[in-house]
Amino acid sequence: MLNNFPLWPESASTIAHRVDALYIFLLIVAGMMALLICALVIYFAARFRSRPGVRAEQIEGSNALEITWSVIPFLVFMVIFAWGAVVYFQERTPPTDATEVYVVAKQWMWKVEHAEGQREINELHVPVGRDVKLIMTSQDVIHSFFVPAFRIKQDVLPGRYTVEWFHATKPGTYHLFCAEYCGTQHSGMVGSIVVLEPAQYEAWVNGSPNGPLSATGEKMFAELGCSSCHRSDMPGRGPNLQGVFGKPVELADGRTLTVDENYLRESILDPGSKRVRGFQPIMPTFQGLVTEEQVNALVAYIKSISTAGTRIGANAMPSAVSASEGSVSSAAQPNGNQVQQ
C-alpha cells in the first residue's frame, strides 16, 4: 500500500515495517492532539466569548482535570518509549550468525570487503533473506551509512568500528547515502545496495578472484611478524590468539572485557591502551603501518581462528614457526611457503 505513496521510501528489510508502524503511530498521536487542541480553542472561544450582562467567572483548580491531563499523556508517552525501545534494540542488535561485511568509508566513497574476499566500491551485493552485519570504519572524517529502503542509518567513525545490520526482504537495487556532511563532495558519496536472489548471489560470490578476507589476514599475520609473538604451538611472548574472540580477557589494570572487533582493532593500532594481564608491554603499535583494509583482514583472521570448524587455511602460525626454526612439521602444512619477516 505504502509503496504507491511517493512520500514514503520503499520498504525492503524486516525492520522497515516496524520503523514505519512506530512512525505512523507518532503521526496519528500528534495529529489527534493537534486536532483536539484546535477544536477546543474554537469551542472555548465561542462558548466563553464576552457577552453583555454576563460576568466572567474565575475557575480555581480541579484535581480530577489535572490528574487526567497528566496521566493520559504519560501513558501515551510510555507506549512510545517502550515501543521505540523494542524497535531500537532490534535494529541495534545484529544476529550472531549474520554474514559479515567490512565497510571502509573515505572522502568520498564506500569501500566494501566481503568475508569471502570480494571487494567493491559504492556497491554492496547481498543475498535476499539473510542477515547481513556491516562492520564499518572511516579512513578520515565522520560519515554515515544510510539506506532508506532498509530504514537503517549509522555513523561511521574514524578510529573505531561501528556496526549495523539488516535482513533484506526484496531483490532490487536500493539507494545508499552518506548522511553526515563530510566535505565538498559529500552529496556525491552515494552508492547502491544490490539485493540478489540466493542463486544469483552465489554466482556473484564465486566470480571473485580474491581469497577469503581471513586468508588475506592470515598471510599478513605472518608477514607483519605477529606470528613471532602470538603463537599457538607453544607459549610465546604474546598471548595465543586462538579462540580469544568473544571470550573475556583480563587486563593488567584489573578490568575484564569481552574480546570484540573494536578490542582487536585497538590491540593492533594502540596496544598500550589495553594491556593483557600477565604479558610484558612489548607489542609495537601498527598505527600507520597498516591500512584500514589490512586491519579488517587481520581482525577477520583472528575471528576465524576463534570459530571452531570454520577456520580457513589453518596453520599459518606453525608454518611461520617452521620457516624460522626449521621444524620438520612444515611437510604437513598446506601453506608452508609463508615466510616470517
Binding site for ligand HEC (CB under 6 A): 224-226, 228-230, 237-239, 241, 244, 249, 259, 264, 267-268, 271, 275-276, 279-283, 286, 298, 302
226 contacts which partner out of ligand HEC, Cu ion, none, CB within 5 to 8 A by kind? ligand HEC
249 contacts which partner out of Cu ion, ligand HEC, none, CB within 5 to 8 A by kind? ligand HEC
203, 202, 213, 209: which is closest to 117 by C-alpha?
Answer: 213
d(CA 304, CA 298): 10
330 contacts which partner out of Cu ion, ligand HEC, none, CB within 5 to 8 A by kind? none
275 contacts which partner out of ligand HEC, Cu ion, none, CB within 5 to 8 A by kind? ligand HEC
d(CA 158, CA 141): 6
268 contacts which partner out of Cu ion, ligand HEC, none, CB within 5 to 8 A by kind? ligand HEC
Q: Which is nearer to Cu ion, 143 or 167 (CB)?
A: 143
Q: In angstroms, what is the minimal distance from the CB of 115 to ligand HEC?
A: 18
d(CA 301, CA 263): 14
Q: In angstroms, what is the minimal distance from the CB of 244 to ligand HEC?
A: 5
**Can you give the binding site for Cu ion, defined by CB under 5 A?**
143, 178, 182, 189
Q: In angstroms, what is the minimal distance from the CB of 181 to Cu ion?
A: 8
Query: In this structure, are residues 239 and 276 in contact, taking their beta carbons and an 8 Å threshold?
Result: yes
145, 140, 100: which is closest to 118 by C-alpha?
Answer: 100
Q: Which is nearer to ligand HEC, 125 or 231 (CB)?
A: 231
Cα-to-chain-centroid distance, residue 132: 10
Q: Which is nearer to ligand HEC, 109 or 259 (CB)?
A: 259
